[in-house]
Structure 1
Amino acid sequence: MHGPASPGWLLVALCAAAGAYCLLRLRSRVEEQRRTAGAEALMAFGMAAMAVPATVFTPPGWAWPGYAAVFGGAALHTLRAGRAGRRHLHHLVGDAAMVYMAVAMAASPSGHAHGGTGVPVLTGALLLYFTGYVLLSGIRLVPVSGVSAIPAGALAWGDRPELVRACRLSMGIAMVAMLLTL
């Protein structure tokens, strides 16, 4: 995750903006928005913190196990909640990916998760998953002409489905970028 400074700062900004938007969604009147917004805010802010360039700040040794514990707890919370559905399965995969990246970074004193050639199998599998997720999310953003199930102005801007999809798409792109630098 600690690659060149410019892309790192772009990831920090993208993830922090997504996290701030997710925090605003916590105030929504729509229950499903509130239910998923907290998990998505945690993911976004966690990715923002992990993406800070190492030239600016190198986390202490205890930070990586801390990340693993936080996202392991988030995964357990998702499992314990017993919610079914694609969104919650995606949160579970995202939490597992964050645990994996934190453990890989903790095991690497140089700041790069693997020193050998090639891509580890789990990294490759996560890259395939998140790349597919990004492509599908991008397709879902394409508007369907003439179809509007929600009247204009009926929802607050924090409840707009297209903004939620764009936020999720940006977090998926950030996850792919972080996995590529792993």
Structure 2
Amino acid sequence: MHGPASSGWLLVALCAATGAYCLLRMRSGVEEQRRAAGGEALMGFGMAAMAVPAAVFAPPSWAWSAYALLFGAVGLHALWAARARPRHLHHLVEAGAMVHMSVAMAGSSGHRHGGSGLPLLTGLLLLYFCAYVLVAGVRLIPVPAVAGAGPAPGWGDRPEVARACRLSMGMAMVAMLLMM
């Protein structure tokens, strides 16, 4: 999954910064945003850890199984949450992609990073996340402000920043899937 060191470090920085912002969003006064932010922070930091260049740190072979179990549990939680809120299906796909990449990394030989995974599943996930990135990008296009719409929300409650974080994680997922 790991390509050149420079792109790996860029992915680590992007995902870690997104995870850090999501941790700060957990202080929001809106309960739904706090819940979503916690899962997104976990996903951001997990993606950052998986993107560390292999030349710097080669995790032990059991680490990939631990990632698969962790993100499998995240996926089960997303499946449970999707019963009431179908928008959690994206989190299920995201967690499934992380499990897929973890299993592919666990199956790669020795300490070498990378592996083809299941090419069909990798391709389907890649198509999904490319479409997700395009849709998320369009949602960031500003709309004219409505006069008298009320006070601006706090910096942690700004939906456009949360959307930008989701967009950055979607782009990181595309990059990670391409490097498989």
TM interval, short-chain normalised: over 0.9
Change (3 A) 1:168 1:148: farther
| Shift of residue 78, structure 1, vs aligned partner | 1.9
Write the letter of the residue equivalent to 1:111.
H
| Matching residue of 1:94 | 94
Change (3 A) 1:70 1:145: same
| Matching residue of 1:124 | 123
How many residues matched? 178
1:176 paired to 2:169: no
Give runs of aligned pairs for residues 136-147 of structure 1, distance below 5 A. 136-147=135-146
Write the letter of the residue equivalent to 1:124.
G
| Shift of residue 86, structure 1, vs aligned partner | 4.4
Provide the C-alpha distance between the structure 2 equivalents of 1:42 and 1:133, rounded to a whole number of angstroms. Answer: 19
| Matching residue of 1:114 | 116
Provide the C-alpha distance between the structure 2 equivalents of 1:148 and 1:82, rounded to a whole number of angstroms. Answer: 35
Residue by residue, what CA displacement relative to the aligned partner does 1:4-59 show, whole Å, maximum 9, x if unpaired?
A: 00010000000000000110111110111011111101100000000000010111
Paired-residue identity, %: 68
| Matching residue of 2:59 | 59
Compute the TM-score of the two structures, normalised by the length of structure 1: 0.92
| Matching residue of 2:21 | 21
8 A contact 2:82–2:89 mirrored in 1:
no
Write the letter of the residue equivalent to 1:59.
P
| Matching residue of 2:160 | 162
Change (3 A) 1:112 1:147: same
Change (3 A) 1:26 1:161: same
Change (3 A) 1:150 1:92: farther
Provide the C-alpha distance between the structure 1 equivalents of 2:147 and 2:85, rounded to a whole number of angstroms. Answer: 24
Compute the TM-score of the two structures, normalised by the length of structure 2: 0.93
